[in-house]
């Protein structure tokens, strides 16, 4: 059968993830140090795993409310109010999802009509562009630069806005650059959102992993923004819970209701075992989370220091667990650099152009890997650039 005739044009047009292509090459090679995969090297803290086990022991194996367990929604509402300084009603303004991934998909499908434009800053998380396209939207990239520490500039954003722009997607701290937003620039962006009547999808999945002394500030707290922001957050990164697949969206109830309509038919609810674990993370997980954060902070300083010392320009990212070194001076494309590094030294890092054209000339290295491996990886990278 010719399956190409059977696949929807929309899906056929989506390119494969550049990360996936690259990691297929890594498979089967021994002794590779991977700085590639964007997930914590810690197992989920034991007391959180235990809460999942207890919930199974107690026989909690049913569906939950479509929105998520009321106790979890209440805990999320409390956590969000403490952390972000903005209140959401646990009964009508919080939706528990299967990771932030599902929440992104639901929000875009709930908001977009065919042909609506969605503006987002690049380099960005690999799912944004395909998720917009799958929701029949038109992706519009706004490049950010190393000179601005990969923060989004309000004037660049305004130049990309057209009468068809409906949604702005933000992700700070950013995957892959670790960028954080200066508050004054974020305020200008908020003003633009109000002026152009945009809805903002603010993916703040790395918000706890911010290393500056200044507190993380969400755009939803800015004047006129709560009513037009869908705040997305989850448990994968700061609580090291990627495998539990749990996230959430907070927004005014008509937006949550629209997302819920899709969620109830596509997913029904998030898994109850994961919800029990997430509740424990929110109630008792802060100490373990802060310990992991401190460890990432130390590793960031080590990696940034080593890269700069060996002559690779690398800005010090304000958050997440990625560095995004500038490799342009070596005269190789991101793809060539990453391939040759892998071939010569068995170190896997992701070519920056996997995150959009604005990432060309850079590499993404995830430093959520052991200190020992990071040390070896840095020595190998140093040896590799010595041969260029
Ligand atoms: N958003 C960003 C910016 C990410 O980096 C990731 C995962 O890497 C996700 C969302 C997906 O997270 P989840 O595991 O909650 O689906």
Give me the pLDDT at residue 37, please: 83
Q: In this structure, are 29 and 117 located in the same domain?
A: no
The pair of structure tokens assigned to 41 is 């090297």
Which among 266, 284, 302 is the end of a domain?
A: 284
Q: In this structure, are 275 and 349 located in the same domain?
A: no
DSSP state, residue 319: B
What distance in angstroms lies between residue 51's CA and the mean position of ligand 1's atoms?
23
Instruction: Please count the residues of the chain.
Output: 388
Q: In this structure, are 208 and 311 located in the same domain?
A: no
Give me the pLDDT at residue 19, please: 74
Which among 263, 284, 305 is the end of a domain?
A: 284
Q: Which residue out of 236, 238, 368 has the highest number of ligand 1 atoms within 8 Å of its CB and is therefore the one to mutate?
A: 236
Question: How far apart are alpha carbons 275 and 363 in whole angstroms?
Answer: 35
Residue whose Cα lies nearest atom 12 of ligand 1: it is: 100
Closest atom of ligand 1 relative to the 234 alpha carbon: 15
Q: In this structure, are 224 and 312 located in the same domain?
A: no
Q: How many domains would you assign to the chain?
A: 2
Give me the pLDDT at residue 212, please: 85
Q: Which of 206, 260, 197 is nearest to 227 (CA)?
A: 197
Give me the pLDDT at residue 83, please: 96
Q: In this structure, are 266 and 344 located in the same domain?
A: no
What distance in angstroms lies between residue 111's CA and the mean position of ligand 1's atoms?
20
Residue whose Cα lies nearest atom 7 of ligand 1: it is: 38
Q: Which of 25, 23, 24, 18 is nearest to 36 (CA)?
A: 23
What distance in angstroms lies between residue 201's CA and the mean position of ligand 1's atoms?
13
Q: Write the DSSP assignment of 131-198 as a string of letters.
A: HHHHTT-EEEEEE--GGGTTPPPHHHHHHH--TTEEEEEE-SSPTTT-----HHHHHHHHHHHHHTT-
What distance in angstroms lies between residue 368's CA and the mean position of ligand 1's atoms?
15
Q: In this structure, are 206 and 60 located in the same domain?
A: yes
Backbone φ and ψ of 348, nearest 5°: -105, 120
The pair of structure tokens assigned to 14 is 């989506």
Give me the pLDDT at residue 17, please: 77
What distance in angstroms lies between residue 269's CA and the mean position of ligand 1's atoms?
19
Q: In this structure, are 215 and 169 located in the same domain?
A: yes
DSSP state, residue 368: -
What distance in angstroms lies between residue 57's CA and the mean position of ligand 1's atoms?
30
Q: Where are any strands of DSSP class E within the chain? A: 33-34, 94-97, 117-122, 138-143, 165-170, 199-203, 229-234, 247-250, 322-323, 347-348, 350-351, 363-366
| All residues at 6 or more sequence positions from 319 whose CB lies less than 8 Å from its CB, including other chains | 172, 173, 174, 178, 179, 180, 206, 207, 209, 210, 211, 212, 216
Give me the pLDDT at residue 320, please: 96
What distance in angstroms lies between residue 347's CA and the mean position of ligand 1's atoms?
23
Q: In this structure, are 29 and 108 located in the same domain?
A: no
Q: Is 261 exposed, middle or buried (0-12, 13-18, 19+ CB in 10 A)?
A: middle
Closest atom of ligand 1 relative to the 171 alpha carbon: 3
Give me the pLDDT at residue 126, please: 94
Angle value at C-alpha 73, between 266 and 60, nearest 5 degrees: 70
Closest atom of ligand 1 relative to the 100 alpha carbon: 15
| All residues at 6 or more sequence positions from 387 whose CB lies less than 8 Å from its CB, including other chains | 344
CATH of the domain at 256: 3.40.640.10
Q: In this structure, are 121 and 259 located in the same domain?
A: yes
Task: Give pLDDT tens digits along the chain (388 positions).
Answer: 989 889 998 899 888 877 777 777 777 787 899 998 888 999 999 999 999 999 999 999 999 999 999 999 999 999 999 999 999 999 999 999 999 999 999 999 999 999 999 999 999 999 999 999 999 999 999 999 999 999 999 999 999 999 999 999 999 999 999 999 999 999 999 999 999 999 999 999 999 999 988 889 999 999 999 999 999 999 999 999 999 999 999 999 999 999 999 999 999 999 999 999 999 999 999 999 999 999 999 999 999 999 999 999 999 999 999 999 999 999 999 999 999 999 999 999 999 999 999 999 999 999 999 999 999 999 999 999 999 9
Question: How far apart are alpha carbons 113 and 377 in whole angstroms?
Answer: 46
Which structural domain range is residue 74 located in? 46-284
Closest atom of ligand 1 relative to the 124 alpha carbon: 3
Which among 284, 309, 330 is the end of a domain?
A: 284
Q: In this structure, are 28 and 93 located in the same domain?
A: no
Question: How far apart are alpha carbons 52 and 60 in whole angstroms?
Answer: 10
Ligand 1, pocket residues at CB < 6 Å: 38, 99-101, 125, 171, 175, 203, 205, 234, 236, 242, 247
pTM (two decimals): 0.96
Q: In this structure, are 37 and 50 located in the same domain?
A: no
Backbone φ and ψ of 117, nearest 5°: -95, 140
CA 307 to chain centre: 24
CATH of the domain at 356: 3.90.1150.10
Give me the pLDDT at residue 30, please: 79
Q: In this structure, are 232 and 292 located in the same domain?
A: no
């Amino acid at each position: 059968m010719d399956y190409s005739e059977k696949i929807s044009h929309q899906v056929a047009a989506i390119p494969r993830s550049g990360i996936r292509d690259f990691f297929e090459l890594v498979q089967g090679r021994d002794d590779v140090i991977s700085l590639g995969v964007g997930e914590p090297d810690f197992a989920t803290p034991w007391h959180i795993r235990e809460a999942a086990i207890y919930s199974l022991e107690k026989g909690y194996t049913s569906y939950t409310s479509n929105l998520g367990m009321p106790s979890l929604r209440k805990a999320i509402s409390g956590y969000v109010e403490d952390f972000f300084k903005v209140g959401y009603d646990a009964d009508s303004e919080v939706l528990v999802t299967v990771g932030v991934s599902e929440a992104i998909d639901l929000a875009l499908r709930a908001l977009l009509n065919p042909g609506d434009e969605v503006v987002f800053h690049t380099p960005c998380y690999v799912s944004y562009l395909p998720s917009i396209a799958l929701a029949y939207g038109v992706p519009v990239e706004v490049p950010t630069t190393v000179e601005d520490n990969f923060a989004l500039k309000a004037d660049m954003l305004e130049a990309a806005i057209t009468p068809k722009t409906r949604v702005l997607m933000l992700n700070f701290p950013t995957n892959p650059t670790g960028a954080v937003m200066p508050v004054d620039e974020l305020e200008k962006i908020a003003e633009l959102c109000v002026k152009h009547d945009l809805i903002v999808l603010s993916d703040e999945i790395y918000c706890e992993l911010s290393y500056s002394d200044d507190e993380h500030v969400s755009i939803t707290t800015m004047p006129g923004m709560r009513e037009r922001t869908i705040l997305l957050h989850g448990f994968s990164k700061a609580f090291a819970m990627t495998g539990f697949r749990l996230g959430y969206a907070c927004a005014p109830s008509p937006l949550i209701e629209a997302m819920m309509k899709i969620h109830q038919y596509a997913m029904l609810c998030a898994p109850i075992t994961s919800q029990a674990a997430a509740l424990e993370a929110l109630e008792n997980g802060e100490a373990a989370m802060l310990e992991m954060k401190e460890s990432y902070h130390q590793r960031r300083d080590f990696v940034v220091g080593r890269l700069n010392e060996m002559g690779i320009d690398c800005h010090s990212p304000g958050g997440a667990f990625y560095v995004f070194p500038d490799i342009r001076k070596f005269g190789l494309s991101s793809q060539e650099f990453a391939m040759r590094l892998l071939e010569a030294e068995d170190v896997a890092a992701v070519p920056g152009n996997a995150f959009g054209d604005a990432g060309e000339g850079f590499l993404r290295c995830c430093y959520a890997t052991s200190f020992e491996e990071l040390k070896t990886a840095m020595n190998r990278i140093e040896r590799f650039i010595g041969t260029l």
